[in-house]
Amino acid sequence: MPRFFRPFHNTSYELAQLDTPDGDFIELAWSLPHNETAPLAIVLHGLEGNINSFYAKGMMKALKKQGYAVVLMHFRNCSSEVNRLPRAYHSGDTADLAFFINHLREQFPSRAIMAVGFSLGGNVLAKYLGEEGKNCPLSAAAVVSAPYDLSSSSEVIRKSLGKIYQKYLLDRMKKSMQRKLPQIKQQIPITTEQLMQIDDLLEFDNQLTAPLHGFENAHDYYRQASAMPYLKHIAIPTLIIHAKDDPMLSIKAVPSRQDVSEHVTLSVSEKGGHVGFISGNNPLRPVFWLEKAVPHYFGQYVPSKASSKQ
């Protein structure tokens, strides 16, 4: 529904590259207000997402409207240019996020920094928050529709709605990985034809995601990358938004009060779908609830003047 209602949704941004310590780069999409002292908000996209993802643009526009300097961090191989190293990204890869946040903290030591992650990006953010614990430099965070239990959520995607979700994601994943084949051929000898024949998410993770990133197999990857065990260690204000009717995630991925720390606010609804959460009484004028809820939550943790509408 949100995809249907805003196919032409747009917001202005500028692309930039930040070199990483391992000789690669992170592509950033900045949307800046006129206020040079504005608080910073990081947006993390989902699986095979990018700056063109409808939910990312919607959130960036909403946060910028509330006076934030907003930046979307592309995961490696989701950027407009192919990354340099023979690797991509995965659900538990927090190193780039940690590096980027530390970079922002050094560049802007006096400005509040927030982060919101969607789906896969939400799992990455939640795992990062738990890893950092009390040392986390963020002022607040929001996690939306994250697959905290990767193994069970993968099973749901592989079977749900006649495997439509799996085909949609796999088609995008294979297209994205195809441009990396020249770089990874020494590590993983797979041809374009073999790549395109993969028709199962578990098989893709077994053949590509796991070996590319140092995991034994897909199940080892799911176990190590799942954010659920890290939720108890979150030590900054964090809003977790999740819907029980999410068609792409397992019910095992719905966190309960005993799964999270005292710093986490759980907002678990009966309905909302996957990164959906449309409300309002007029179906022709939907209200995108996420774009109100997340900025409102962040607004509690920045100075009132900085978070006011510009």
Report the alpha-carbon distance of residue 40 to residue 90 in Å, rounded.
25
Structural contact between residues 147 and 253, judged by C-beta atoms closer than 8 angstroms: yes
Report the alpha-carbon distance of residue 54 to residue 30 in Å, rounded.
16
Domains in the chain: how many in total? 1
For residue range 160-201, list pLDDT tens digits in order: 777 888 999 999 999 999 999 999 988 899 999 999 999 999
22 tagged catalytic = no
Residues for the chain: how many in total? Answer: 310
Residue 77 lies in a domain: yes
For residue range 254-276, list pLDDT tens digits in order: 999 999 999 999 999 999 999 99
Structural contact between residues 2 and 276, judged by C-beta atoms closer than 8 angstroms: yes
Given 31, 246, 250, 307, the catalytic residue: 246
Q: So what's the pLDDT on residue 308?
A: 42
Residue 210 lies in a domain: no
Collapse the DSSP code of 4 into the 3-class scheme (helix H, G, I; strand E, B; otherwise coil) and give the result. Answer: helix
Q: So what's the pLDDT on residue 280?
A: 83
**What's 88's domain CATH number?**
3.40.50.1820
274 tagged catalytic = yes
What are the E-state strand segments in 46-162? 69-73, 113-118, 140-144
Say how many C-beta atoms besides its own lie within 10 A of residue 30's C-beta: 14
Q: Which domain holds residue 246?
A: 3-150+226-300
Q: Which two tokens stand for residue 300?
A: 């509690």
Residue 86 lies in a domain: yes
Given 119, 139, 153, 307, the catalytic residue: 119
Residue 182 lies in a domain: no
119 tagged catalytic = yes
Q: So what's the pLDDT on residue 185?
A: 87
Given 139, 242, 274, 307, the catalytic residue: 274
Q: So what's the pLDDT on residue 309?
A: 43
Residue 162 lies in a domain: no
Q: So what's the pLDDT on residue 310?
A: 40
CA torsion 157-159-160-166 (nearest 10°) is 50
Q: So what's the pLDDT on residue 5?
A: 60
Q: So what's the pLDDT on residue 12?
A: 86
Residue 48 lies in a domain: yes
Residue 111 lies in a domain: yes
Report the alpha-carbon distance of residue 54 to residue 146 in Å, rounded.
17
Residue 78 lies in a domain: yes
Report the alpha-carbon distance of residue 300 to residue 303 in Å, rounded.
8
Q: So what's the pLDDT on residue 268?
A: 95
Give mean pLDDT in consecutive 10-residue pieces for the chain, a chain of 310 residues: 58 93 97 87 96 93 95 96 94 98 96 97 98 98 97 92 88 94 90 95 97 96 98 98 93 94 97 90 85 97 57
Structural contact between residues 3 and 54, judged by C-beta atoms closer than 8 angstroms: yes
CA atoms lying within 13 Å on the CB side of residue 259: 17
Report the alpha-carbon distance of residue 238 to residue 143 in Å, rounded.
8
